[in-house]
Amino acid sequence: MKDVGFIGWRGMVGSVLINRMMKKRDFDNINAIFFTTSQYGKSIPFTDLKNKNMKLQDAYNFEILSQLDIIITCQGSNYTNKIYYKLRKIGWKGYWIDAASILRTLKNTIIVLDPVNFKLIEQKLNMGIKTFVGGNCTVSLMLMTLAGLFYNNLIEWIFVSTYQAASGAGAKFMQELVFQMKYIYKSISHLINDSSTNILDIEKKISNKMNSTNFPKNNFKVPLINSLIPWIDKKMDNGQTKEEWKGQFETNKILNANKIIPVDGICVRIATLRSHSQSFTIKLKKNLSINNIENIINSHNKWVKIISNDFNSTINYLTPSFVSGKLDLPIGRIKKLNIDKNCFSMFSVGDQLLWGAAEPLRRMLKLLI
């Protein structure tokens, strides 16, 4: 059995990964060793894994790390930056699987999304590549959903507007959104059941609270609740944010495209807790019928689900709350645009902790095993 080290299993991506692995009984086929950056020596909390190594190991112990066959980390880029290069430098030849973004741009790494790029993964494995990284959440969700169109070489360009959940930024941010909800609720709870209260008075009270100095916003810097933030990650030289920059770079790296497919957009953080949504404007290379487009999208993989372009289907099945916790990838609002006969709109939702993060890593580990 391969010795597999898990780092970052306590975080959001990590805990979703562990749950999926338990559900699929993946731990039956590996010797799992759990590491921590903060709780060294404590017992592992998974009662179902009683026969496995019980104590948490130190995630900075190179001696133990260097004995592992495979390391899978969901700890984040800072950890990877501190450990990965040093481990390789001291001669570690194992496989490294990572949820963080920092290694995605390196030449000798592969961004994994096997339903889309299995052949590339297989080819690079045979060439001796040993570092595999999960893609950016919105990129992976977009590719899984639109893979049929990419695969048939139908896409000329894509413009995407994202609606990204607080959890996409990490546990601390998600927690802060809940604190913001609580803070607002406490200030108006005595008013909301009183039908004589003018709703604009409540709105004013909420706005005042949002601007108060004690409002919980250490992480987001501004209120997210009752608002949105049209900026994710740092600024690039061309005016994009890093999150927007990843759209084109990662899409083309995952597809191993020989001619760049232009992808651009605006990435927006919204006040949902889990699951991302994306609105696409897509220019196709051909003027296809809606029916044809739906068939092409539908036939690529079993997770993508076409949602009919009507009110009831859309409000029930094309929302982040509907898709949370599911592997399904609903896509709807598919229609031709007035702008150009080859331009179409589409809207998709997907759980960014599943296909957007943990699931491609789990499947990569399974491929190695």
Q: How far apart are CA 6 and CA 59, in angstroms?
A: 9
Output the CA torsion 247→146→162→8 (10° steps). Answer: -70
Judged by CB under 6 A, which of 14, 94, 247, 332 binds ligand NAP?
14
Pairing state between β 95-98 and 70-73: parallel
36 binds ligand NAP, rule: CB under 6 A: yes
DSSP letter for 286, please: S
CA 154 to each of CA 56, 113, 141, 293, 297: distance values in angstroms, whole numbers, following the listed order: 49, 20, 18, 10, 11
CB burial readout 337-365, b (16+ within 10 A) else e? eeeeebbbebbbbbbbbbbbbbbbbbbbb
Torsions phi, psi of 255, nearest 5? -80, -10
Identified binder of ligand NAP from the candidate list 4, 5, 11, 332, rule CB under 6 A: 11
Which residues are identified as catalytic? 137, 276
Is-contact 138 352, C-beta < 8 A?
yes
Binding piece for ligand NAP, criterion CB under 6 A, among 11-19, 103-111, 222-230, 288-296:
11-19
Closest residue to ligand NAP, based on beta-carbon distance: 11
**Closer of 80 and 240 to ligand NAP (Cβ):** 80
**8-state DSSP, 104:** T
Q: Is 167 in the site for ligand NAP (CB under 6 A)?
A: yes
Min dist CB 312 to ligand NAP, Å, is 29
Number of residues this chain uses to bind ligand NAP (CB under 6 A): 26
Closest distance to ligand NAP from the beta carbon of 32 (Å)? 15
Question: Which of 148, 168, 265, 320 touches ligand NAP by CB under 6 A?
Answer: 168
CA distance 244 to 161: 10
Per-residue mark of binding to ligand NAP, 80-99 (x: CB under 6 A)? -------------------x
From 72, 318, 331, 357, residue interacting with ligand NAP (rule: CB under 6 A) = 357
Find tokens 């076409």 and name the residue: 306
Identify which of residues 72 and 307 has a Cβ nearer to ligand NAP in the complex: 72
Query: Which string of DSSP letters, residue by residue, matches 208-247?
Result: HHHTSTTSS-TTTSS--TTSEES--SPBPTTS-BHHHHHH
Residue 4 vs 137, nearer CB to ligand NAP: 137
Binding status of residue 12 toward ligand NAP by CB under 6 A: yes
Q: Is 320 in the site for ligand NAP (CB under 6 A)?
A: no
263 vs 288 by CB, closer to ligand NAP: 263
Q: Which residues bind ligand NAP (CB under 6 A)?
A: 8, 10-14, 36-39, 74-77, 99-101, 137, 167-168, 170-171, 352-353, 356-357
